[in-house]
Chains A and B, each alone.
Chain A
């Protein structure tokens, strides 16, 4: 691979980054090539010892996405960060994507049941409208108490969602350090 091919490959793997950031990164590698060329190395030798531009791109992307999640934790950002970390290796597919799906399922289930509980008096009313003869106070009061329960679950889920999101971002960070090969991190 010559210098131009290397830089083009690296650039194309960085498309998600801002153009400033990309220019900055490419500039670092151009500098590397320029200095190594003055030492009499060939472009092929230089790109060989640099390693795979796609792998370098993956590392840069993972850094970038984690940093973004660190500042603003929106759903899209978290998704992209998960994806970037998964991209670092198949190993992570199990230890990142697995917990992520499990957590997302728990959060989803919690919200779904709280909304269903809150809405249950409506169902009781619908039931009365469709079968006017079957009116029972028990149904009505039971559904109203479910509403109360649903509200409590919703409040609980609000805090749980926040805690789980924070925890997961921390787990992602830990994971990237692990993948990057930390010995011991706190």
Chain B
């Protein structure tokens, strides 16, 4: 898949994964990379940017094994942004599917 494209989709994935529950960075990375092939490291710059844009807040929490973990929690602003992205995504994919259907059914 095209890299630019994947990065845009990554934003939706991260926001959607945080919509129901708070998660830590590693968990987010694993959830996403189990579904789509990504450079795992690129999730972290994205998390920082979205945090700075106030779509997330963060807090540290101790864990039984290993060091304390940084959790991300979505804000109201983040939820609003997620819904906008989902709308954009759906419009976009409906459009692409339509074009594929027209293009391929001719053959």
Contacts and interface: CB of A to CB of B under 8 A. Distances in A.
A182 interface: yes
Contacts of A35: 24, 26, 66, 69
A180 B4 contact: yes
A28 B44 contact: yes
Interface in A138-186: 178-184
Nearest to B5: A181
B66 A183 contact: no
Contact of A28 (B3, B10, B70, B89): B70
A51 B49 CA distance: 19
B29 A32 contact: yes
A56 B40 CA distance: 10
B104 to A, nearest CB: 22
Interface string A37-67: 0100000000001111101100110010001
Contacts of B88: 183-184
A67 B49 CA distance: 9
Interface residues of A, number: 29
Interface residues of B, number: 36
Contacts of B66: 34-35, 38
Interface string B59-72: 00000011101100
Secondary structure class of chain B's binding surface, majority of residues:
helix
Contacts of A29: 41, 44
Contacts of B9: 181
Contact of A183 (B25, B47, B48, B89): B89
B103 interface: no
B4 to A, nearest CB: 4
A25 B8 contact: no
B65 A38 contact: yes
A36 interface: yes
A51 B8 contact: no
18 contacts: A28-B25, A28-B44, A28-B47, A31-B67, A31-B69, A35-B69, A49-B39, A50-B39, A51-B39, A51-B42, A55-B42, A56-B42, A179-B4, A180-B11, A181-B4, A181-B9, A183-B5, A184-B92
Given A63-B45, A179-B4, 8 more contacts: A35-B24, A49-B33, A50-B40, A50-B41, A52-B41, A63-B49, A180-B7, A183-B88
Interface of A: 25, 27-32, 34-36, 38, 49-53, 55-56, 59-60, 63, 67, 178-184
